Amino acid sequence: MRPIQSKIAIVAVLIVGLLQFSACSSSEVTESQSSSTKPLASQAAESENSLIPEATPEVDNNIVPELEPVLPVTITDAVGNTITINSVERIIPLDGSVAEVVFALNLGANVVATDRSATWPPEASELPQIGYQRSLLAEPIAGFTPTVLIGTEIAGPEKTLDDLRRLGYPVVIVPSEATMQGPAQKIRAVAEALGVPNRGEELATQMEKTIISNTQVFEDDKRPVVAALYIRGTGTQLVLGRNSATHWLINAAGGKNVADILDIDQYKTITAESLLRAEPDILLVPSAGLDSVGGIDGLLEVGGISQTPAGINRAVLAYDDQLLLGNGPRTGDLLKQLAADFRNLVSQTTNN
């Protein structure tokens, strides 16, 4: 853990960044790697600026959650399409985090199928599957006669979505930004499309309060350096960058992100040279990825990890993939747990 700025400076930067948003992302790693053209110091400042809203949102006590969806509803979605939804009796979420939002809005009983990324709640994972969100086919989806389809911008390919639109199925694309504001934005958009905006407002506001109340501000010499990794066996071993939801989560939980140290926007293949330069104190990984390399022992065999402070201390945190990468309705609870786990690991390594 290395000092960079004073605690006062961090607070000032956080307040300045109240209304700023960082780049869009998704719950999965994208297929292309980007390199930054901005100065590193400028990017580090921007990463802090995306953190906290100005104040804890006030719950509007006059908001009454809908007993039933109010339909029809006409909306303009995240890609500019105007869609009218007449029924939500047969919902198909095209994304795991969207499925989780639908269930959190108490409309899970209306979901007739999900994609393979839907792992929470358990009821969602037990439903028939339509394939994977990035490689969908129109025919199996149409076989469920959905009344509305909801996904994020990673749903595709676009030809499949166009085919479904031509068949008359309402296809709604909701925003999925990898920022602190992203989860609430997604909840509100899904709720609006399903005719339950008040349910969405209540859920989003409560989550925003949880996020704000658990956002940490530490002196820089007490901030652990954290690397978020995306692992899938020996074939895919990446350090996640600023465009992943893990970036703002690490910062908000009180960590210093390796993505800023190594100047990574999307992702970068793990190398011994880069990790030894960044010297992470903690490794953050999706649980399925950790399992794919045989647990912590297998992870320590990946590109120089065993020689880092995190590797030496076996300081590895693993969370459910959808929870960690999805920026969904459980994100407030995840941040609370992440902040506590950071504190515990820092305490353990300091006392060793």
Task: Determine the Cα–Cα distance for residues 224 and 251; give it in Å rounded to an integer.
Answer: 10
Task: Determine the Cα–Cα distance for residues 29 and 147; give it in Å rounded to an integer.
Answer: 30
Instruction: Name the DSSP class of 19.
Output: T
pLDDT at 36: 35
Under a CB-based contact definition with an 8 Å cutoff, are residues 6 and 229 in contact? no
Under a CB-based contact definition with an 8 Å cutoff, are residues 105 and 194 in contact? yes
pLDDT at 59: 57
Under a CB-based contact definition with an 8 Å cutoff, are residues 117 and 135 in contact? no
Q: Who's near 329: CB < 8 A, 6+ residues apart?
A: 100, 101, 104, 183, 187, 203, 207
Q: CATH classification of 73-211 is 3.10.580.10, yes or no?
A: no
Query: Model's pTM, two decimal places?
Result: 0.83
Class of domain 7-24+32-52+216-351: alpha beta
Q: What is the pLDDT along the chain (352 residues), one digit of tens a residue?
A: 444 344 334 433 333 343 343 333 344 443 333 333 333 334 444 444 445 445 556 656 678 999 999 999 999 999 999 999 999 999 999 999 999 999 999 999 999 999 999 999 999 999 999 999 999 999 999 999 999 999 999 999 999 999 999 999 999 999 999 999 999 999 999 999 999 999 999 999 999 999 999 999 887 878 999 999 999 998 999 999 999 999 999 999 999 999 999 999 999 999 999 999 999 999 999 999 999 999 999 999 998 999 999 999 999 999 999 999 999 999 999 999 999 999 999 888 777 6
**Could you please report the per-residue DSSP string of 285-315?**
EEHHHHHHTTHHHHHTTSTTGGGSHHHHHT-
Count helices and strands (H / E) in the chain: 16, 11
Q: Residue 319 carries which side chain, given as an amino acid letter?
A: Y
pLDDT at 37: 32
Under a CB-based contact definition with an 8 Å cutoff, are residues 180 and 88 in contact? no
pLDDT at 350: 76
pLDDT at 61: 67
pLDDT at 51: 54
pLDDT at 56: 58
Query: Of 147, 145, 150, nearest to 161 (Cα)?
Result: 150
Angle at alpha carbon of residue 306, lines to 339 and 5, rounded to 5°: 45
Q: Residue 285: helix, strand or coil by DSSP?
A: strand
Other beta carbons less than 10 A from residue 155's beta carbon: 25
321 token code pair: 């993939």
pLDDT at 317: 98
Q: According to DSSP H, which parts of the chain are helical?
A: 7-16, 40-49, 96-104, 122-125, 138-142, 158-166, 182-193, 197-213, 245-252, 258-261, 272-278, 287-292, 295-299, 309-313, 321-325, 331-351
Across-strand partners of 74? 84
Query: 234 — phi, psi (to 5°)?
Result: -85, -10
pLDDT at 17: 42
Residues of each domain in the chain carrying CATH 3.40.50.1980:
7-24+32-52+216-351, 73-211
